Structure 1
Amino acid sequence: MKYGELNYDHLIIFAPSVDEFGGSISVEEITRFVDEGGNLLVTGGPNLGQAVRELAIQHGFEFDEPDTMVIDHNNYDTYLDDGYHTTIVATKEQLLNAHLIIGETARLNPVLYKGVAMISHKNNLLRLEVLRGTTTSYSFNPTSPIDEYPGAIGKQVIMIGAVQARNNARAVFTGSMEMFSDAFLTAYVHKSGSEDPAARSGNMRLVTALSKWVLKENGVLRVKKVEHHLAGNREVPREYTILDEVEYAIEIEELKEGKWQPFNAKDVQLEFVRIDPFVRTTLKNNNGRFSTRFKLPDVYGVYKFLVDYRRIGYTHLYDVQQVQFLFANPLVFYAQRLKTF
């Protein structure tokens, strides 16, 4: 960071076995980088170093013990596996339902994974369990007899985890370097017990979608323009009067293929808040311009037009416009009240 600005926007760490990052780079420095809005992609592996392990813990995930791997005797690749059933075949049903993060799953072929398991810290409410194990998955040393309870079993086994922080910084952790390898990207999957013909792995589609998301090429929103005024009047008043009819509009854009385009959604809401919301309404979308019209409450004070849009995969969109409105002339006020009865 220099002069309050990050020198780099993204950090990719494909060095699972290092115990120290070296130089001025440390777990604390990388955590500070994310706190300042930087994005992070990290891979682990069976021979995991302390540096990557500590970095994952800082983001709500914990890698299993050294020399352990994800094992599944029902879901492995018969061609690529070495006999320990650690070359996992994962299907789209095991993925988080979030197309912005994992891509469109309708045509996603099974994904190959070979590596260590993670477990997620339940107290981290921002965690996203992107790829989980099946009921027959578990984590253990594949060359050792099972003489104790595995570190993770079933859907506790996390193979890909992600976090979007409150500052919209993104981090993705996976326990498999090989998931990104040429061998897995180009392989044909031969799932154990399956009579289906071999199909090209879905690794290329999945890692491309993951990379685009964590590098903020997907799922980024911004506010282009906000306006509010009396109904039928385009000028913004210094203050409003109780029971005024007002119009509100917000223009939202989404980054797609490197270009800002009108955001298409049907669930953007406006809250008109003093302490609690007096009005909550879904905005009508017209090519990225979300608008509504409503009558102000009959309680004067300082209010906020508030849009707080949170959806998995999108950056958190928050916009607030503070206004005040006054008590009307009593005769006008009571005349307006009588019209409502």
Structure 2
Amino acid sequence: MSIIIWDQHQFIGYCLYPFVYPRYFLFTVYFLFNFSCLKMTILQKWLILVLASVLAPVRAAENVLVIVDSPARLDTHTLFLNKLKSGFNTEIKHVEDPTLILKKYGQFLYDHVVLLAPSTEEFSGGKVSTDTLVEFIDAGGNVLVTADVETGDAIRELASEVGVEIDESGNTVIDHFNFDTQDEGYHTRIKVSPDNLIKSEHIVKPPSAECLYHGTGLATDSANPLVLNILTGSSTSYSHNPQEMIKDYPHVVGKNTILIAGLQARNNARVIILGSIDFLSDSYLTAKVGKDGKVAGNSDVVSDIVAWCFKQAGVIKIDFVEHKSVETGNKSPSFYTVKEECEFSVKISELVQGAWVPYQANDVQFEFVRIDPFVRSTMVADKGGVFRTKFMIPDVYGVFKFVVKYSRPGLTSISSSNQISVHPLRHNQYERFIYSAYPYYASAFSMMFGVFVFSFVFLHHKEPEAKPKSE
């Protein structure tokens, strides 16, 4: 079925449409192959096709939805929003906007969501709710959430869904030993050392200066392996209402005072929970700390955690998996024979500054599994990111799997499983004489020799003739 477009200018407009909205690229390709009725030369048609094929991948930026609880956020968080706009197709909507929607026709319209709405009690506008955001995360979407001293129930519920508990409203992180000079007297505008950041350069690199923080405290379950404590308070920090006397033990104290928490789900979806919306504000991103007047490390930390949350950093993938017989050199055979030497290799790439480069590590392990691992080996990588290992197929036949599972903090989890059958030896592949059977060989030949001797003696032995009684 051909689609008739009478105006060439209208046609070119359809061609440029996916550069603004990349998700409509396939729709535009359909147009490109159905414009035979246009009065255009073949050269003009081919030029447009080439232009679309070259520019579409370049302009295919990811879509980010920013939800705010007040129009004032556009003025107080200008630098942060400009950073998002420079790398993503950013759309900003109010939490009560009736057009607020995440999913349409069964497809999510955005790749990432930023919630600059800590005071939200409920999502009253559009078709967004806590359940919708959880569904978005389950589908692989990434979410950055900000809390504050006064945090609404909707944000608390979303944080609890990802394993993070936000302190009670009115409670603020206090540190009487590490507060900023511009503090108002409650010691709630605190300085956080770069040493309190998580030790993973895939997530965040230590800045050259301290960070400024004013917000509530977070708590996480140390038994949850999916939750990461990205930034913690010092040993002298705690979370409490600064205008009330401490009667009960504070909710979080010391190093258990979490300021920024992260989650990487099993489907590699990522969530960031910040206990302070001021951490992203213009005043904190440009503030100066210390006697030497250095710019606070907030800007560097924010850039790193946004890149990690939106999968611009800390992403690895498997390019190919290969196995071959060392003896025959046959790649990816349909089966192996027991006690055959095999070489397994896998290429892993890492996303660094928008380009895929070979991944380098010394802790990638391989397993040869039949219910339980029969072989476990640490692979060695070359400069091209290809990890290899050689092993001998165990002397057990059956259905096995080549398994690679790699999960490290700050990196996306990768997994590969390839099934292969292991056959027993054929009748002509066994040894002619088995060393362990030599005693049985000796006993058999000794028995044969004994029977021969016995037969010889029995056949040639002649008893003396009996003498008559008369003699």
* Structure 1 CA distance for aligned equivalents of residues 434 and 405 of structure 2: 31
**Structure 2 equivalent of residue 304 of structure 1:** 401
Please give the secondary structure, in 1, of the residue aligned with 2:118: coil
1:334 positional shift: 4.6
Residue number among 198, 209, 219 corresponding to 2:293 in the alignment: 198
- Please tell me whether the aligned partners of residues 113 and 144 of structure 2 are also in contact (alpha carbons under 8 angstroms): yes
**Higher normalized helix content (fraction of residues):** 2
**Structure 1 equivalent of residue 429 of structure 2:** 332
Q: Does 1:101 align with 2:203?
A: yes
- Please tell me whether the aligned partners of residues 367 and 402 of structure 2 are also in contact (alpha carbons under 8 angstroms): yes
Q: Does 1:315 align with 2:417?
A: no
Q: Does 1:222 align with 2:317?
A: yes
* Structure 1 CA distance for aligned equivalents of residues 110 and 325 of structure 2: 45
Taking the TM superposition and a 5 Å limit, the aligned residue runs for 1:154-303 are: 154-190=254-290, 197-231=292-326, 232-286=328-382, 287-303=384-400
Q: Give the structure-2-normalised TM-score.
A: 0.68
1:171 positional shift: 0.3
Range with greater deviation from structure 2 (305-314 or 262-271): 262-271
1:329 positional shift: 2.0
1:3 positional shift: 6.4
* Structure 1 CA distance for aligned equivalents of residues 105 and 424 of structure 2: 47
* Structure 2 CA distance for aligned equivalents of residues 295 and 157 of structure 1: 50
- Please tell me whether the aligned partners of residues 338 and 395 of structure 2 are also in contact (alpha carbons under 8 angstroms): yes
Taking the TM superposition and a 5 Å limit, the aligned residue runs for 1:30-179 are: 30-78=133-181, 80-103=182-205, 105=206, 107-179=207-279
What whole-Å deviation, never above 9, does each CA across 1:232-279 have from its counterpart, x for those lacking one?
414322211101111111111111111112111121111111121111
Mark the CA change 1:300 to 1:49 in structure 2 (over 3 Å): closer, same or farther.
same
Range with greater deviation from structure 2 (138-147 or 12-21): 138-147
* Structure 1 CA distance for aligned equivalents of residues 270 and 433 of structure 2: 51
- Please tell me whether the aligned partners of residues 196 and 234 of structure 2 are also in contact (alpha carbons under 8 angstroms): yes
Please give the secondary structure, in 2, of the residue aligned with 1:30: helix
What whole-Å deviation, never above 9, does each CA across 1:170-213 have from its counterpart, x for those lacking one?
000011111111111111113xxxxx533221111111000000
In structure 1, what residue type is equivalent to 2:312? E
Q: Does 1:8 align with 2:105?
A: no
Please give the secondary structure, in 2, of the residue aligned with 1:179: helix
* Structure 2 CA distance for aligned equivalents of residues 189 and 214 of structure 1: 27
Please give the secondary structure, in 2, of the residue aligned with 1:134: coil
**Structure 2 equivalent of residue 18 of structure 1:** 120
* Structure 2 CA distance for aligned equivalents of residues 109 and 44 of structure 1: 24
Range with greater deviation from structure 2 (213-222 or 254-263): 254-263
- Please tell me whether the aligned partners of residues 322 and 331 of structure 2 are also in contact (alpha carbons under 8 angstroms): no
- RCO greater where, 1 or 2, for CA within 8 Å and sep 6 or more? 1
**Structure 2 equivalent of residue 193 of structure 1:** none
User: For structure 1, which runs of at least 5 residues remain unmatched after alignment?
Assistant: 191-195
Please give the secondary structure, in 2, of the residue aligned with 1:211: helix
Taking only the aligned residue pairs, the percentage that are identical comes to: 41
Q: CA RMSD in A?
A: 1.8
* Structure 1 CA distance for aligned equivalents of residues 366 and 248 of structure 2: 53
Q: Which has the larger radius of gyration?
A: 2
1:33 positional shift: 0.6
1:92 positional shift: 1.5
* Structure 2 CA distance for aligned equivalents of residues 335 and 222 of structure 1: 48
* Structure 2 CA distance for aligned equivalents of residues 252 and 4 of structure 1: 33
Q: Give the structure-1-normalised TM-score.
A: 0.92
In structure 2, what residue type is equivalent to 1:291? R
Mark the CA change 1:319 to 1:50 in structure 2 (over 3 Å): closer, same or farther.
same
* Structure 1 CA distance for aligned equivalents of residues 106 and 339 of structure 2: 45
* Structure 2 CA distance for aligned equivalents of residues 336 and 255 of structure 1: 56
* Structure 2 CA distance for aligned equivalents of residues 284 and 134 of structure 1: 39
- Please tell me whether the aligned partners of residues 178 and 191 of structure 2 are also in contact (alpha carbons under 8 angstroms): yes
1:42 positional shift: 0.4
* Structure 2 CA distance for aligned equivalents of residues 337 and 40 of structure 1: 65
In structure 2, what residue type is equivalent to 1:274? R
* Structure 1 CA distance for aligned equivalents of residues 107 and 431 of structure 2: 55
* Structure 1 CA distance for aligned equivalents of residues 435 and 394 of structure 2: 15
- State the aligned residue count: 331
Range with greater deviation from structure 2 (212-221 or 280-289): 280-289
1:108 positional shift: 2.8
In structure 1, what residue type is equivalent to 2:248? E
In structure 1, what residue type is equivalent to 2:398? G
In structure 2, what residue type is equivalent to 1:132? T
Please give the secondary structure, in 2, of the residue aligned with 1:240: strand
User: For structure 2, which runs of at least 5 residues remain unmatched after alignment?
Assistant: 1-102, 437-471
1:121 positional shift: 2.8
* Structure 2 CA distance for aligned equivalents of residues 273 and 330 of structure 1: 26
1:7 positional shift: 2.4
Please give the secondary structure, in 1, of the residue aligned with 2:261: strand
* Structure 1 CA distance for aligned equivalents of residues 333 and 226 of structure 2: 40
* Structure 2 CA distance for aligned equivalents of residues 96 and 59 of structure 1: 19
